[in-house]
Structure 1
Amino acid sequence: MTAQDARPLRLAIVRQAYNPFGGAERFVERALAALGKEALEVTLLTRKWQGEAQPGLHVLQLRAVKAGRLLRDWSFARAVQACVKEQAFDLVQSHERIPGCDIFRAGDGVHATWLDLRARTLGPLARLGQRLSPWHRFILSQERQMFEDPALRAVICNSRMVRDDIARRHPRLADRLHVIHNGTDLERFHPGLREQHRATLRASLGVPESRPVLLHVGSGFERKGVPALIEAMAHPELAAAELWIVGRDRQESRLRARAARLGVAGRIRFCGPQQDVTPWLGAADAFVLPTLYDPMPNAAMEALASGLPVLSSTSSGAAELITPGVNGECVDALDIAAIVGKAAKMLAAMQDPEKSVAIRIAARKSVAEMSKEAMAVQLVALYRQLMARVSPL
Structure 2
Amino acid sequence: MSCRFRKQVRNGMRDSGDRLAVVLAVRYFMNVGGMEKFSLSLAAFLRDRGHNVKVVAIRGQPMEGVSLRIAGRPRPVPRFMRDWHTGRILVRAVAEEPADVVLGEQKMWNCDVIRPAGGVEDEYWKAHVRFRRILPFPPWTRFLALKRILDLRAERLGYRDPRLRCVIANSNLVRKQLLRHYPHLEGRIRVIHEGVASDLRVPDMSGMRRHVLRSHGLAEDGVTAIFVGHDFRRKGVPQAMQAVAEARRRDPCFRLQLLILGRDRSLYCRRLARRLGIENAVAFAGSVSPPNPCFLAADFLMLPTFYDPFANVTLEALAAGLPVLTTRQNGGAEILTHGTDGWVVDDPGDIRGMVECLLRMRDPARLSAMKASASALAARHSIQAALESVEQALIEVAVEKKRDRELGAPRPIK
* Same-fold status (TM-score > 0.5): yes
Partner of residue 361, structure 1 = 372
Unaligned residue ranges in structure 2 (runs of 5+): 6-13, 402-410
Cα deviation code 1:72-97 (max 9, x no counterpart):
33322221121122111222211131
- Which residue identity does 2:91 align to in structure 1? Q
- Relative to structure 1, the CA distance from residue 256 to residue 15 in structure 2 (aligned partners, 3 Å threshold; closer, same or farther) is farther
- Which region of structure 1 is more displaced relative to structure 2, 322-331 or 256-265? 256-265
Q: Is the 8 A contact 1:47 1:76 kept in 2?
A: yes
- Relative to structure 1, the CA distance from residue 69 to residue 326 in structure 2 (aligned partners, 3 Å threshold; closer, same or farther) is same
Q: Given the alignment of the two structures, is residue 337 of structure 1 paired with residue 348 of structure 2, yes or no?
A: no
- Relative to structure 1, the CA distance from residue 191 to residue 319 in structure 2 (aligned partners, 3 Å threshold; closer, same or farther) is farther
> Which residue among 380, 383, 391 is the counterpart of 2:391?
380
SS of equivalent to 1:220: coil
Partner of residue 170, structure 1 = 182
Partner of residue 301, structure 2 = 287
Unaligned residue ranges in structure 1 (runs of 5+): none
TM-score (norm 2): 0.85
Offset, 1:60? 2.3
Cα deviation code 1:250-290 (max 9, x no counterpart):
x2223222222333222211111112211111220111001
Partner of residue 263, structure 1 = 277
- Which residue identity does 2:368 align to in structure 1? V
Offset, 1:48? 3.1
- Relative to structure 1, the CA distance from residue 14 to residue 265 in structure 2 (aligned partners, 3 Å threshold; closer, same or farther) is farther
Measure the CA separation in 2 of the matches of 1:15 and 1:266. Answer: 42
Offset, 1:241? 1.5
> After superposition, where does 1:2-21 map in structure 2 within 5 Å?
6=17, 8-21=19-32
Cα deviation code 1:221-245 (max 9, x no counterpart):
1111112122223321476221111
How many residues are treated as equivalent by the alignment?
385
Larger Rg, first or second structure (1 or 2): 2
* Alignment RMSD: 2.4
SS of equivalent to 1:222: coil
Cα deviation code 1:135-165 (max 9, x no counterpart):
1011112222321211111111111111122
Measure the CA separation in 2 of the matches of 1:194 and 1:333. Answer: 33
> Which residue among 169, 183, 188 is the counterpart of 2:195?
183
Cα deviation code 1:185-224 (max 9, x no counterpart):
114x137566684344335545444211000111111111
Q: Given the alignment of the two structures, is residue 57 of structure 1 paired with residue 66 of structure 2, yes or no?
A: yes
- Relative to structure 1, the CA distance from residue 78 to residue 185 in structure 2 (aligned partners, 3 Å threshold; closer, same or farther) is same
Offset, 1:7? 5.7
Partner of residue 230, structure 1 = 241
- Relative to structure 1, the CA distance from residue 253 to residue 86 in structure 2 (aligned partners, 3 Å threshold; closer, same or farther) is same
Cα deviation code 1:41-100 (max 9, x no counterpart):
333322233xx5322333322332322124333322221121122111222211131222
Q: Is the 8 A contact 2:224 2:298 kept in 1?
A: yes
Measure the CA separation in 2 of the matches of 1:219 and 1:290. Answer: 13
Measure the CA separation in 2 of the matches of 1:115 and 1:184. Answer: 28
- Which residue identity does 1:217 align to in structure 2? V
SS of equivalent to 1:115: helix
Partner of residue 308, structure 1 = 322
Q: Is the 8 A contact 1:291 1:313 kept in 2?
A: yes
Measure the CA separation in 1 of the matches of 2:19 and 2:208. Answer: 40
- Which residue identity does 2:32 align to in structure 1? F
TM-score (norm 1): 0.90
- Relative to structure 1, the CA distance from residue 41 to residue 196 in structure 2 (aligned partners, 3 Å threshold; closer, same or farther) is farther
SS of equivalent to 1:16: strand
Offset, 1:293? 0.4
Q: Is the 8 A contact 2:81 2:150 kept in 1?
A: no
Partner of residue 321, structure 1 = 335
SS of equivalent to 1:283: coil
- Which residue identity does 2:412 align to in structure 1? P
Q: Is the 8 A contact 1:194 1:281 kept in 2?
A: no
> After superposition, where does 1:8-47 map in structure 2 within 5 Å?
8-47=19-58
- Which region of structure 1 is more displaced relative to structure 2, 190-199 or 119-128? 190-199
SS of equivalent to 2:233: helix
> Which residue among 227, 242, 245 is the counterpart of 1:216?
227
Partner of residue 299, structure 1 = 313
- Relative to structure 1, the CA distance from residue 326 to residue 142 in structure 2 (aligned partners, 3 Å threshold; closer, same or farther) is same
> Which residue among 272, 276, 282 is the counterpart of 2:286?
272
- Relative to structure 1, the CA distance from residue 295 to residue 151 in structure 2 (aligned partners, 3 Å threshold; closer, same or farther) is same
Q: Given the alignment of the two structures, is residue 81 of structure 1 paired with residue 88 of structure 2, yes or no?
A: no
- Which region of structure 1 is more displaced relative to structure 2, 203-212 or 277-286? 203-212
- Which region of structure 1 is more displaced relative to structure 2, 237-246 or 269-278? 237-246
